[in-house]
Structure 1
Amino acid sequence: MLAAFFAAFAAVFLLELPDKTTALTLVLSTRYRARAVFAGAAVAFVLQAAIAVGLGSAITLLPTRIVAGAVAVLFAIGAVLLIRESLEEPSPEASNGAELRAATPVLKAAGASFVLLFTAEWGDASQVTAIGVAAHYDHPVMVFLGAFLALMVVTTLALVVGRTIRDRVPAHFIQRGAAAVFIVFAIIAAVEAIAG
């Protein structure tokens, strides 16, 4: 039983560290308060882990092109919005983004974080891996816990790094860098949609 937990945790953790979900969490941490991002991520990842374990191999029946195409469009839209925001003239009192983070209601920030992270994680390698681990070990609760905890550990690490970055780097540089990352992810997803 513990083997299922550790297999799910290790596989998902290793897949998520360099993943788009980590980059997205870093971006969200520069816009919203960490607790709101964490709450949105927790709900998104509970659902994702449950879907992975509950549906088993059903994820393989989803059309890869449609999933990849939707992800490409979402990342492209995110890149455009980030670039547009980075070009806006910041007000002197909001130059570090602290006022924006404080002014955004927690539920709105958590909701935005949920939608973005849930969508980004849909059909991701870690979700597919969790499906495989669940099928192999036949201990769905332990696989669920391992996958969920791995996702939340990676999210926590991204939030800590995000806080450090936003305190030292001007917001418009972070937004432009995040836009570049989003463009790369959009291109990768578009290629997957076309080749799929």
Structure 2
Amino acid sequence: MEALIGSTLAVAIAEMGDKTQLLALLLVGRYGRPALICLGILVATIINHGFSAWLGDWLGGLIPPTWLPWIIGTSFLAVALWMLIPDKEDGGDGRFAALGPFGATCMLFFLAEIGDKTQIATVVLAAKYSATWMVIIGTTLGMLLANVPVVIFGRWILQRINLKWVHIGAFVLFLGFALASFWQGF
């Protein structure tokens, strides 16, 4: 249960102000089909974070157990610092427009998550916990918690949230994860 809750919270908070939220806003503005866009986010996230979690689980099995808290703590610290750098919009979805709202969302979200902080966090979380499926479910739920409201209420929400404080909150969360891992290493 710790893996599920920790993964959900980590990704939901890390995703606030992320480029995929900007992408969700662009997609809903272009297609106006929130249900298909939300379904596309779900499918892309399950595939992307599934691969990431299995990679993290595999890496966790290769690393000596005494090193794991230090590597995970350092990784969480890096993600925490990364949270202080806000994402910028990556561009349009012109190449994928012919795929329609579901296909364009799947492709664009999958590509946007490659190398993203939430993908890296998924690898680290899967290495930390032995419950790979709970990490996949948790990170997927976190992605949906952060992006579905943007699809539904996008413009209204973004006018009322100060993203600077969201990034600081995410920094504090990942810093807490890092400190907990370092503490475990002692």
Q: TM-score range, shorter-chain basis?
A: 0.5 to 0.7
Q: Report how far residue 162 of structure 1 moved.
A: 2.8
Among residues 121, 130, 133, which one is paired with 1:129 in the alignment?
A: 121
- Segments of 5+ residues of structure 2 without an aligned counterpart are 60-88, 158-186
Alpha-carbon offset, residue 56 of structure 1: 1.7
Shift of 1:118: 0.8
**Does the residue aligned with 1:75 lie in a helix, a strand or coil?**
coil
Query: What are the Cα deviations for residues 15-53 of structure 1, in whole angstroms up to 9, with x where unaligned?
Result: 101100111101111111111111111110111110111
CA contact (8 A) 2:58 2:127 kept: no
> Could you list the runs of 5+ residues in structure 1 that have no partner in the other structure?
60-73, 82-103, 166-196
Task: Report if aligned partners of 2:19, 2:90 keep a CA contact under 8 Å in 1.
Answer: no
Where does 1:1-196 land on structure 2 (aligned, <5 Å)?
2-32=1-31, 33-56=33-56, 75-76=90-91, 78=92, 108-162=100-154, 164=156
Please give the TM-score of this superposition, normalised by the length of structure 2.
Answer: 0.60
Amino acid of the structure 2 residue aligned with 1:162: G
Distance 1:35 1:163 in 2: 17
Q: Matches of 2:58 and 2:30 in 1, distance apart?
A: 35
Shift of 1:75: 2.6
CA displacement at 1:58 relative to structure 2: 8.0
8 Å CA contact retained: 1:29, 1:37: yes
Change (3 A) 1:128 1:58: farther
Give aligned-pair identity as a percent: 31
Aligned residues: 125
Q: Deviations over 1:80-99 (max 9, x none)?
A: x6xxxxxxxxxxxxxxxxxx
Could you list the per-position Cα deviations for residues 78-133 of structure 1 after superposition, in whole angstroms to 9, with x for gaps in the alignment? 29x6xxxxxxxxxxxxxxxxxxxxxx99x621001111111111111111111111
Cα offset, 1:139, TM superposition: 0.7
Question: In the TM superposition, what whole-angstrom CA distance separates every residue of 1:140-168 from its partner, at most 9, and x where no partner exists?
Answer: 01111100111111121111223758xxx
Residues of 2 paired with 1:163 and 1:42: CA distance? 21
Q: Distance in 2 between matches of 1:11 and 1:164?
A: 24
TM-score, normalization: structure 1? Answer: 0.57
CA RMSD of aligned residues (A): 2.6
User: What one-letter code is carried by the residue in structure 2 that aligns with 1:75?
Assistant: D
Question: Which structure: larger Rg?
Answer: 1
User: Cα distance 1:111–1:161, how it changes in 2: closer, same or farther (>3 A)?
Assistant: same
